[in-house]
Structure 1
Amino acid sequence: MILFVKLLLAHLLGDFIWQPNSWVADKEIKKHKSPYLYVHVLLHGVLAAILAGEIRFIPYAVLIAVTHGIIDLVKLNFQKNKTKRTWFVVDQIAHLLVLIAVVLVYENKTLIHFWQNNEFWVLFTGFLLVTKPTSIFIKTIISIWSPESQNSQQDNSLANAGNYIGILERLLIVCFILTNHFEAIGFLLAAKSIFRFGDLKEAKDRKLTEYVMIGTLISFGIAIVAGLIIQALLLQLP
């Protein structure tokens, strides 16, 4: 595990901290002809070798550097202005998968150890539950009360912002419960109420206010129950 943390640190330093915007711009224009691409790749290999701290890891550091360059080249050649965000996510996931694979091979481990971890399955299922499945459930439940003025209110809001806010707040609530910080849930609810108060006051729509309150309380309620169930299951694991 500590090796993965070190390699992740090397990746963060090489991809975000020590990669100037001028390098990124030059790579996007010149692609494989950009000298900064190869400097960037070399930097990742050197950082991985240094932070791993073992001479026998050098071949693996070279492998990390080479695969990093290949992944970056694929992204640079296929991304468009409209797909940059998508390719950024794909790029970072690919890099992380390479790091995980290197750690497993280097430490002579397999994914069997990972799949047999009961705590992982409980946490993964619980966190997944409070994301999109819960959003769909809440949307279905409160759809019968959807106020007519809701559409006009959404015209000036970010696309799907409410959905993402709900998912993030439920994830935070589960984390608060698992770390025994129940007081933070009250702080989160108060903070959301403050930000929502201005919008609801301007709308002057009682139905919209009630609609938002119902959705918020259902969301918080599901997250709290899910967090408590996850906590109880974790305590029962051997």
Structure 2
Amino acid sequence: MGLKELILLQFIAHLCLDYFFQTDRLAKQKNTIGFKSSFLYWHALVCFVLAWLFSIQISFVFAAAIIAITHFLMDGFKHHLNNSKYFGRYAFFIDQAIHLIILVVVVVLFDKWQGINPSIDVSINFKYLLIITGYLVCLKPANIFIREVFKSTEIQVSSDNEMPNAGKVIGVLERILTLTFIIVSQYSAVGFLIAAKSILRYGNNETLKTEYVLIGTMLSFGIAVIAGIIINFF
């Protein structure tokens, strides 16, 4: 296992922590009251455990502690960023960018000073790890990213005809299919999928506004396409 594999493993740990191991309700509570949230302390503890576990080496314990402490501090002060007049709408993107920068810096410094020596002799294929990461990103993280894009650009639309969470499920399915088609180099199938969705969504006058659906669709497919291009590049 090398530097790029460790960085990717830590990124997967971050995805699990911030997207799969916390509900929207708990995340909102944490982002609203900061250090007063009891969940924040559990969140930091899980951050430490995941960072250490995904490093596959005992000596990473101090680096995992640094990742957890900085994550704890960032999330604790995030409600101030949310309430900022100028940066509040971009709080999600700023927060995630800082988390990832710190993660990469810590791993690079760990590799420089300590060296990467897994406690378990395991062979990790970077491309397979990248594929797993791509599919994880296309699940809940992509849904939240799209939601935050709408929020930051103040795009709002109401509808009484949409099934609860149906759009999220559709988005996940289309991203999984798109990513799979790109990985196996079936690009024509991606075009067919986009065309099929366009016919189904735009042909119904009771669905969301065309502009809203178009933005969501382009963001959704864009995430999957970019993930597929990165995977194929390596």
Q: Given the two structures, how large is their TM-score scaled by the length of structure 1? A: 0.48
Higher helix share: 1
Higher RCO, 1 vs 2 (CA within 8 Å, ≥6 residues apart):
2
> Which protein shows a greater Rg?
1
